[in-house]
Amino acid sequence: MARLFGTIATSWSPVRSAPAFGRNEIAPALAFFALTFLPLSLICGIIPFTKTMLFSAPFKVVLQGTPTPDQNAILLDVLRASAIGFVQTAAQWLVFSAPYVSLVRSYGDPRRRNVPLRTMLYRAFLMPAQQVIFMLLAWAMVNEGSTAPQAAFLMLLSLIPLVLLLSTMWAAARLGSGLGPFVSFLVVIVPVTLWQFVGPLLGQLLVTPP
């Protein structure tokens, strides 16, 4: 457990931790991915996608529906919301990872082919973490007196995981795979740009009722 949290803590040092991605082992990265990304991706869908519960006021939950939903209905609703959250974050990870891994492998050191994949497996948890942080902060700040500065502060805080992820992707490409300054920047911009198109389309598909 200490090793797990120690690895999570290294995400705060993108440049310092980048050389560690130069190893070839994939199995530890997959295990870390399963222990961090999967539970967070299931959690991040609960607040925005549940229909039987309204997350209002600071940390207050109000049941919705007529008649009041029973425990089975709430459980099924939470499972459905978790599944949506997982699909959304898994799709985001794939959209970021596929072009990044492909580009870094094409232009980077062939002896370090696993650097980009290890990077995305070890830092995948930052994607759902960003959403979880945003939702919890928004839930904590829900009140009629919320101001624009508060909303801006909320947005800035929730962007920290994304900034750490992009910084690590750049550092791993630059220091781990040996890409030049411009190319290491380009391999990060490509998946970010792609997600700007895919993300909204996916969001519409997930929230549109059948």
Q: What integer pLDDT is reported at residue 146 of this predicted model?
A: 61
Instruction: Check if the beta carbon of residue 52 is closer than 8 Å to that of residue 65.
Output: yes
- CA geometry: angle 112, 118, 122, nearest 5 deg: 155
* Tokens found for residue 112: 């370090």
Q: What is the mean pLDDT of residues 36-56?
A: 90
User: In this model, does residue 23 exceed pLDDT 50?
Assistant: yes
Beta partners for 62?
54
User: Among residues of the chain, what percentage have pLDDT more than 90?
Assistant: 51
Q: In this predicted model, what pLDDT tens digit does every residue of 96-139 receive, in sequence order?
A: 999 999 999 999 888 889 999 999 999 999 999 998 988 888 78
pLDDT digits (tens, 9 = 90+) for 50-82: 888 888 777 788 888 777 788 888 999 999 999
